[in-house]
């Protein structure tokens, strides 16, 4: 299984009052070793600047042109009798705001924006309510294709918002910002067909579909969706869907396009948490609870990393090939991980109190370095032997059985024939090592791969435990079937036993790019500091 560096590019340029860009070019670093959690990491995307800009626009638009009944010729036309039965066309650039709740009886739209560029519309906490019995073809705010760079924000409050339309907001403009809106009881809360949309900070409740996006390139960030039939649906490509809360929906998030980052969302009580059928989908650091399927991924080259999924029927279901399922925490599910695709990488997951921890039926799956504790069956797999799965994973206190093999049990060497197998043969340090001082380790590996690795293959040890990360990446080269490494280590100054864990990987060049490919089982050694300093290699089947 290859560990790739994925770059997702978003080109988002929005026009403000002075026609200056709100956003520039974003480059998203990928790969499961990057967690999209911390403020510092999100700063890579310049989100603080974006939200400061939206804050500024919110204040400026409150002091813009009030939409006044009966007015014609000041950049807009206010039709009808007033806010109790009216509708508005905005036809010229400008900054506009509502002064009351707008009730729509006779028109099929509340506000239509058709002016090209530089439109900023603030609801000023007021709503738009459809009073027609038949909502077919009705739109609360219609942002037409001509309204390039429109910004719409601030509609609604706790008791009223954009309500009762077929589309609460229908946007065909590219780009557009839709922020801080309250949308409820529409067929679709926000329906966007444009390119380069930012949809952020909205509260969307009790719609048939909360968000429906059919364009390409966009940011869906920090929205709250509750009790919609379906939450967030996208069928375009190149989206960031992050830090949204989706609760009590049929589908929490569903994507059918490719190159999409789904990160740091919380999904609770949805029938399906995250569904994806496209390729190159990156699911990272999502919190999912009480679902039938936490993550259901059917496309190829899917990354599912760092998610926490609990109390669900199926935690992770993956049927596409070349999926990367790593560093997830799965607890109290009927099945933690179900993998049907070929060449799947299932590593370093923490599985506890599931009926079954891992079910794998695809060929050439790499099932290694997983921690399985108090599951009914820890691992159920094909193309492996029992001994291999027990040796290459950490299994403890299974309620029924540690390992169950699906189908014919293959010979040990055949079950490992698709994996590189570097075996540690020695680890030592010089006598007289002292607490708090540096010393040099001697680490040796023997290549047991079949077929053998090529002479000169570059080998790395990637740190796993926190203290091991202080040593950084350790590098070596295969010579005559062995690898010799001599990293410098700082002996801890305080008494105690310290665990160092590393993952052996080899460097493979593909299309001119370096990739890290798994090269052997997890390595764990301890250093004990007391009256003297001792080093021990830990060889164990179970925790």
Cα 374 to its chain centre, rounded Å, is: 28
Domain span at 509: 422-537
Task: Give pLDDT, residue 522.
Answer: 67
Q: Which residues pair with 462 in a beta bridge?
A: 503
Q: What are the E-state strand segments in 172-257? A: 176-179, 182-184, 188-192, 197-200, 203-205, 209-213, 218-221, 224-226, 230-234, 239-242, 245-247, 251-255
C-beta separation of 218 from 237 below 8 A: no
Q: Which 8-state DSSP code applies to residue 308?
A: E
Q: SS3 of 471, please?
A: coil
C-beta separation of 165 from 185 below 8 A: no
Query: Residue 307: which residues within 8 A CB-CB, separation 6 or more?
Result: 283, 284, 285, 286, 287, 288, 294, 295, 316, 328, 329
pTM higher than 0.75 for the full model?
no
Local confidence pLDDT in tens for the 543 residues of the chain:
333 323 333 333 332 322 222 333 333 333 322 333 344 444 444 455 566 666 666 666 666 889 999 888 679 999 999 999 999 999 999 899 999 999 999 899 999 999 887 789 999 999 999 999 889 999 999 999 999 989 999 999 888 899 999 999 999 998 899 999 999 999 999 999 988 889 999 999 999 999 999 988 888 999 999 999 999 999 988 888 999 999 999 999 999 988 899 999 999 999 999 999 988 899 999 999 999 999 999 988 899 999 999 999 999 999 998 899 999 999 999 999 999 988 899 999 999 999 899 999 888 888 988 999 989 889 998 877 777 788 788 898 888 888 888 754 333 333 333 345 688 889 999 999 999 999 999 999 998 876 788 899 889 888 877 788 889 889 999 999 999 999 999 999 999 999 888 878 777 765 666 666 667 666 788 999 999 999 988 753 322
Task: Give pLDDT, residue 300.
Answer: 87
Asked, for residue 470, whether it belongs to a domain, the answer is: yes
Asked, for residue 485, whether it belongs to a domain, the answer is: yes
Structural tokens at position 79: 């039709």
Task: Give pLDDT, residue 44.
Answer: 40
Asked, for residue 502, whether it belongs to a domain, the answer is: yes
Number of domains in the chain: 1
CA distance 503 to 388: 17
Asked, for residue 481, whether it belongs to a domain, the answer is: yes
Largest CA distance in the chain: 93
Which residue from 202, 96, 80, 181 is spatially nearest to 131, judged by alpha carbons? 80
Task: Give pLDDT, residue 322.
Answer: 87
Q: SS3 of 465, please?
A: coil
CA distance 241 to 229: 19
Asked, for residue 456, whether it belongs to a domain, the answer is: yes
Q: Which 8-state DSSP code applies to residue 50?
A: H
CA distance 71 to 69: 6
Task: Give pLDDT, residue 386.
Answer: 79
Which residue from 77, 79, 85, 78 is spatially nearest to 101, judged by alpha carbons? 85
Q: Which residues pair with 396 in a beta bridge?
A: 373
Asked, for residue 387, whether it belongs to a domain, the answer is: no
Q: Which helix (H) or strand (E) holds 62?
A: helix 47-62
CA distance 472 to 487: 9
Residue with tokens 């179900």: 338
CA distance 241 to 263: 6
CA distance 4 to 541: 29
Q: CA of 89: how far to CAs of 74, 86, 147, 462, in Å?
A: 11, 11, 12, 60
Task: Give pLDDT, residue 43.
Answer: 43
Asked, for residue 381, whether it belongs to a domain, the answer is: no
C-beta separation of 139 from 44 below 8 A: no
Asked, for residue 513, whether it belongs to a domain, the answer is: yes
Q: CA of 415: how far to CAs of 31, 364, 383, 408, in Å?
A: 28, 8, 6, 11
The CATH number for 449's domain is 2.60.40
Task: Give pLDDT, residue 152.
Answer: 93
């Amino acid at each position: 299984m290859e560990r790739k560096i994925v770059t997702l590019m978003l080109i988002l340029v929005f026009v403000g009052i002075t026609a200056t860009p709100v956003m520039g070019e974003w480059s998203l670093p990928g790969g499961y070793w990057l967690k999209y959690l911390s403020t510092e990491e999100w700063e890579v995307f310049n989100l603080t600047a974006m939200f400061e800009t939206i804050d500024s626009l919110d204040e400026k638009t409150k002091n813009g042109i009030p939409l006044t009944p009966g007015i014609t010729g000041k950049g807009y036309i206010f039709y009808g009798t007033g806010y109790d039965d009216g509708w508005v066309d905005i036809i010229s650039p400008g900054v506009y705001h509502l002064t009351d709740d707008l009730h729509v009886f006779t028109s099929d739209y509340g506000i239509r924006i058709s002016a090209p560029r530089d439109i900023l519309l603030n609801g000023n906490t007021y709503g738009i309510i459809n009073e027609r019995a038949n909502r077919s073809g009705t739109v609360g705010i219609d942002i037409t294709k001509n309204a390039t760079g429109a910004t719409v924000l601030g509609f609604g409050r706790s008791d009223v918002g954009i309500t009762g339309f077929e589309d609460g907001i229908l946007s065909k403009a590219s780009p557009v910002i839709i922020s801080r809106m309250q949308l409820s009881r529409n067929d679709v809360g926000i329906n966007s067909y444009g390119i380069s949309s930012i949809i952020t900070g909205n509260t969307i409740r009790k719609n048939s579909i909360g968000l429906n996006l059919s364009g390409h390139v966009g940011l869906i960030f920090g929205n709250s969706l509750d009790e919609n039939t379906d939450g967030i649906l996208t069928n375009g490509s190149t989206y960031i869907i992050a830090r949204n809360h989706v609760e009590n929906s049929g589908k929490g998030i569903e994507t059918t396009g490719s190159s999409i980052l789904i990160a740091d969302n919380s999904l609770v009580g949805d029938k399906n948490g995250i569904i994806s059928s496209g390729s190159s989908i990156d699911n990272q650091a999502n919190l999912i609870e009480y679902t039938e399927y936490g993550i259901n991924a059917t496309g190829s080259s899917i990354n599912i990393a760092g998610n926490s999924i609990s109390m669900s029927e199926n935690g992770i279901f993956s049927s596409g090939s070349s999926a990367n399922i790593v560093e997830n925490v799965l607890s109290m599910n009927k099945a933690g991980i179900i993998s049907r695709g070929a060449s799947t990488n299932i590593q370093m997951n923490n599985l506890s109190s599931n009926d079954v921890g891992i079910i794998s039926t695809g060929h050439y799956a790499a099932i290694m370095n997983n921690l399985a504790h108090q599951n009914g069956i820890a691992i159920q797999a094909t193309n492996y032997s029992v001994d291999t799965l027990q040796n290459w994973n950490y299994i403890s206190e299974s309620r029924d059985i540690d390992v169950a093999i699906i189908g014919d049990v293959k010979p040990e060497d055949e079950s490992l024939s698709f994996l590189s197998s570097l075996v540690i043969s020695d680890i030592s340090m010089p006598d007289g090592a002292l607490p708090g001082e540096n010393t040099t380790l001697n680490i040796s590996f023997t290549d047991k791969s079949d077929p053998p690795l090529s002479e000169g293959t570059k080998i790395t040890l990637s740190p796993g435990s926190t203290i091991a990360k202080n040593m950084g990446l350790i590098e070596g080269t295969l010579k005559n079937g062995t690898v010799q490494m001599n990293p410098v280590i700082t002996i801890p100054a305080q008494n105690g036993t310290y665990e160092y864990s590393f993952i052996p990987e080899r460097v493979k060049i593909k299309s001119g790019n370096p990739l890290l490919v798994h090269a052997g089982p997890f390595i764990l050694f301890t250093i004990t500091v007391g009256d003297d300093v001792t080093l021990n290699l830990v060889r164990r089947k179970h925790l």
